[in-house]
Structure 1
Amino acid sequence: MTNIELVPQRSILNIIINNTFKIACLFILLLSLSCSNEEACAYLPNTEPDPSIHCNLQSELNLSTGIDVGGNVIPPGKGIIDPFWRVINNPPLLNCTSPLVSTINGSAYLINFANFGADAWVNQTGTTTLAPIDLGTSDSFGCNNALNNEGVRVPYVFERPFCIIEDTCIDFNFSLKGDDQVYLQLIDNATNAVLSTSPTYIWTSTEAQNWTESNLCLSAGSYSIRAFLVNTNAIVLGFSMLGNLTTGNGDASISNNIEGCCVNNVISVLNILEENCDGKFDSGSDQLGSGWTFNLKDASGTIIRTETTDANGDAFFSGLANGTYTIEIVNQTGWLPSNPTTGTATVTVSNNQVELLQFFNCRA
């Protein structure tokens, strides 16, 4: 008589569960190896990588103007754009008819006015000079920026973002030159707080200015070096900055935002107060609207940030994640929005984009 060993019902159930689990794991593994269409990939779990693990973290960043991803100097020329620096405002110009105005689009162009030597004019060895206009190596601009309400030329504002992935302390020693005037600031993009300000370089009257910080401790987040470049003589403008930013204790915790470690989209607002309501800035009659409040709303309509325009009528919303946002002006007594008439503008930004907006207001 053959003995038949009975398998308990619970054991049979365990065998079925274990085999089913193995088959499911194998299915997911095969999908991950051969995922080539959206329908199949939709079954995979959402495994967004941890930026602190996958980013190219460093203990030192070269923040100089005109440097490529590998740290090499980029030669100037027509249509050559800095991969890290960008222009985050578009100030009004005085009676300007130059066709080069059309090249003002948020890009920082690599130039060399009159093809000067590496250390002549505002050039510095180890950098390339930047301008908000595509001047190449021979063009001049011939336009002047408008005056703000305090009688001061409105600067072009450049921004060089970077990321701090873990809390750290930093050191830097930057050298700057500019035509006609330039100064720099270190900005916390989340709050627009100014953390440090450089001396001002004035063309022909000062030596290259050095800007130094030591053991400046910063929390993880998005930061920028901003350059404020003023044009006063209507011929040419440009600036250069040379130097590295390092962590004080050598820890690898900083990175270029272009590598995806953090996103730094920018929405820039220029607020203009009109007298004749023609939808453009008229020097001598129109004003730059300083001290006005603008709200930033997310896609759900929730106010997530508020900024006040500075003396130049500018407000900057930097360090923004990819997404759709609405900018809303807070009306002031005696004024009505004329363009856009709703007093709001909705934009979608991604991939470290700069969006330049203008708001016009007429007397009520």
Structure 2
Amino acid sequence: MTRDIKYGIIGCGMMGQEHMRNIALLEGARVAAIFEPNEIMANAAKAIEPNAALCGSLEELLDRDDLDCLLVVSPNHMHVPQLETIAARNPLPLLMEKPLYTDPADEAKLLAFRESYPAPIWVAMEYRYMPPIQTFVEQVQKATGGVKMLTIREHRFPFLEKIGNWNRFNKNSGGTLVEKCCHFFDLMRLIIGADPVRIMASAGQEVNHLDENYDGEASDIWDTAYVMVDFANGARGMLELCMYAEGSTFQEEISAVGPNGKIEALVPGPGRFWPTHLGEPPVSQVIISPRTPKGPQTVEIPVDPTILDAGDHNGSTFYQHVKFLEVVRGTGAPEVSLMDGIQAVKMGLLAQESATEGCAKTF
């Protein structure tokens, strides 16, 4: 009988607890140790996995000899320093939450880190593992005949409150187009199959957070953005982000078009936010619309309710961990590389520069 894979988790706020609930659904895996400096969040994590040890420091967790892998879910600006500590002290297989970094100066550190880290690293781009998006990716080339235009629209709720309000400030989060949108830039590269060459954006803080002030410092995160991206193979991508549209039926809407036709994926937001008076939450859909013969074909992509209830990302966190466990057990390879994570952040940072300066940026 195969022994359980034991996770050490660094950071157990809202997203860390989602990871824990999904790990609890996996066969042959469990959380063995947690480092979470906030007492309230640590106790909440302990309630999810009572047998996990609470560690008083990152170093204490890394010095344990019973861990098989690590999961980093700390605030964004802490990722690079913690990666450096992990590499020096106990470089186990690592699932690293996005974004990898927030400061452009850290890109060089991560490129060097990529060459020296001795164990597999998987960057946690959960959106890849939403079942409707997986179906979309599997079918996109056949449906389109080669993507020429890709549009990603996210109409959603505002940023949630986090411990210490760290996500209210660009210096901590990297900015909205990094913190929120690196997922979408990663999807663009994956779906189009090429790297970006030019990016242009218009974005700002229009509705949310206008009057938010923390210890005398005004929140500077954005809630509105359009981003256009040219890719090396001639395809074009566009992102539309609105973070004051929580009344929408679907939270993410992705469409790709090519000479043969169009394919769309429609993904609802977290079920816990769906108004109960409207009945059951909507189910994800994938729609294929060929040019010839005309006639959209719609398929619903349901997710197991137990998996759906374990998080806010349409089941993707669970399916990501299934694949990551294969890496830890030595039967698989990381599907989202450190370079994928670097490129997604770089796209977000350049998009923010473009919006701030009012001009296109090249890679």
Q: TM-score range by the shorter chain?
A: under 0.3
Higher relative contact order (CA 8 A, sep 6+): 2
Taking structure 1 as the reference length, what is the TM-score of the superposition? 0.26
> TM-score, structure 2 length as denominator?
0.26
Larger-Rg structure: 1
Which is richer in helix?
2
